[in-house]
Amino acid sequence: MRSDGELVYVRLLEMEDAQDLLDLRVRNRDFLAPWVPHRPGMRYTLDEQTAQLAFALESAASDGAYHFGIFTPGAELVGTVTLANVARGPWQNATIGYFVDHAHNSKGYVTEAIRLVTRLAFTDLGLHRVQAGVMPRNPASIRALEKAGYRREGLSLRYLQINDVWEDHVIFAITQEDVADSCRQT
């Protein structure tokens, strides 16, 4: 599964991406620490990345989650976007999470990647809704979601544990109708 934009393309991560994923995570370990949950036992090794990619491929095969890489036109892995917690039945929902290499911030890569993966969620995966949670003190992430067409729905108190603190998160979402409405307006 792949989708191309003007600045970047996204595709499902593959086993061959293990070394690039390791390099990306090691380079951004300190940069991402304030924003992502601490994962006990997380090792920054090639074996760990290989194991995580194997799990990602199993998750996609079982329709539980989809792990995409964000790539520049030159095929450099500069970030990831994940559709996790895929729920079928009457909800048809997933949560989206993402990050981009600190060296590639403020270039529009994340916004475009969010749009591309959201489109795949609605077209290829048949989802109805995609949602995200963002800490209120992360204006860059909030801006990326808003530019990608997500609407602010509210504040969830003590939503997710980040660095041993239960952090509030602003909830954003987009549905198929939102995308259809924006297409009719242009």
Instruction: Give the per-residue pLDDT at 154.
Output: 96
* Local structure of residue 117 (DSSP, 8 states): H
In this prediction the pTM is 0.91
Q: Indicate the number of domains in the chain.
A: 1
| Nearest-angstrom CA–CA distance, 65 and 160 | 19
Which residue numbers in the chain have pLDDT < 70?
Answer: 33-35, 37-42, 181-186
Torsions phi, psi for 167 (to 5 deg): -95, 140
pLDDT tens for residues 165-182? 898 999 999 999 998 766
Range of the domain at 153: 2-185
**Residue 152, domain CATH:** 3.40.630.30
